[in-house]
Amino acid sequence: MKGKYMFAVLLSVLIVATAGCATMGPSGHKYFMRGQVLEVTGGEAYICIGTAEGGKAGQEYAVYRFVKSMAGPQKQAQVFTRQTVGEVRITEVVDEHYAKARVLKGDVRVNDVVQLKD
């Protein structure tokens, strides 16, 4: 009897786990398609997004950077805010880790963060 109970519990856990994974498909890009700007020259940028992350030519990314400011009553606490600074579009995936992108707009700089647009 104990063996049947354990089998039923294990089967239930397995079903719940696989159902949870099935719902992550499209939403995975929202969380994982993020990288960094490595170089910017003449309106083109190299970004740290490649085939391993699902990067493809034509994808557009928002570019942002974290800006430090002071907060609190006496402006003593450091706070970092996310500031959108531009957009890029992948023109060529170089390999599994890098891609070449065209700067579509904004002031894109080295070390800025890129994230797949919704």
- Each residue of 42-76: pLDDT tens digit? 999 999 999 988 999 999 999 999 998 877 677 77
Confidence band, pLDDT 50/70/90 cuts, at residue 79? confident
The pLDDT, as a whole number, for residue 17 is 52
State phi, psi for 52 to the nearest 5 degrees. -65, -30
The pLDDT, as a whole number, for residue 59 is 96
Which residues face 105 on adjacent strands? 87
- Each residue of 13-44: pLDDT tens digit? 556 555 544 444 444 444 457 999 999 999 99
In CATH, what is the architecture of 33-116? Beta Barrel (2.40)
Contact at 8 Å (CB) between 50 and 94?
yes
